[in-house]
Amino acid sequence: MPADKARLYVALYVRGGVAKMPDNEDKYHWALLVAPKNEDDDPTGTRYHAKNAPGQSTWIFEEKSTSMNATNMILVRVMIGKINDPQALATKLRQVPIVNNDPGWNCVTWLRSALALIAQDVSLMGTSSLRWEAVKATALRYCEQKAAQGRFNGTSKFDTSKVPTFDLLQGKETTK
C-alpha cells in the first residue's frame, strides 16, 4: 500500500436551527471529507454528506469536489482514518441509505450509518478509528474547545486560512 494514503475526516459545519439530539450533535452539520495526505496551497478533496434538497424538506446524498481550505461554514475536521481505496470508499458511501419519512433522521444519522458501513469492509481503510461514539465525542469536544478559545468569533489570533484539525489516531491537534 502507498505511504501517502488519502485521509478520511469528519467535518463539522455551521448549522442553523435548534439542536434536538440528546448530545446536541445536530447543533452542527456533519459530513465526511476525503483529502490527500499532503495538502498543497490549494488542496481539493471530496465531501460526502446528506443534506436537505434545495427548497424541500427531503434529504439527498451529495458527493462533491471541494476545497480543503477554510470557508465561512466549516468549523473543524477530525482525521479518522487512512484510506486504502478511495474509489471503493466512494462506492460504499453512495450505498448509505437516505431516509425521508423519519423526522429524527438527519446528516448525523447518515454519518453514523456511513461509519458503520465502512467498518464492515476491512479492505477500505488502513489505520482508522470508525467507532461512532469515539468519533462523535472527539468531534464535539474539539469543536467546543475551539469555540472556547475564540476561534470562530475573531477574539483570538488564529490562521483563519486553515481549518482546525484534530488527528484522532494520534490524539493530537495538527492544525490550530
Evaluated on CA atoms 24, 14, 37, 50, the torsion sign reads positive
Q: Where do the structural domains in the chain lie, given as residue ranges?
A: 7-175
- Please list, in sequence order, all residues whose beta carbon lies within 8 angstroms of the beta carbon of residue 98, skipping any fewer than 6 positions away: 50, 59, 60, 61, 110
DSSP of 136-153, one letter per residue?
HHHHHHHHHHHHHTTTTT
Q: Give the CA angle between residues 166, 161, 68 to the nearest 5°.
A: 60
Tell me the CA distances in angstroms from 35 to 7, 31, 54, 131, one per residue in order: 5, 13, 26, 20
Tell me the average confidence (pLDDT) per consecutive run of 10 residues in the chain, 176 residues long. Answer: 84 94 96 92 91 91 94 94 97 97 95 98 96 98 96 86 95 94
Q: Give the CA angle between residues 113, 16, 71 to the nearest 5°.
A: 85
Give residue 38's identity as a one-letter amino acid code.
N
Question: Which parts of the chain fold into alpha helices (H)?
Answer: 86-93, 107-120, 132-148
Give me the helix-helix angle, 107-120 and 132-148, nearest 10°: 130
pLDDT score at 2? 59
59, three cell numbers: 434529504
pLDDT score at 17? 87
pLDDT score at 1? 47
pLDDT score at 42? 77
Tell me the CA distances in angstroms from 108 to 13, 25, 27, one per residue in order: 12, 7, 10
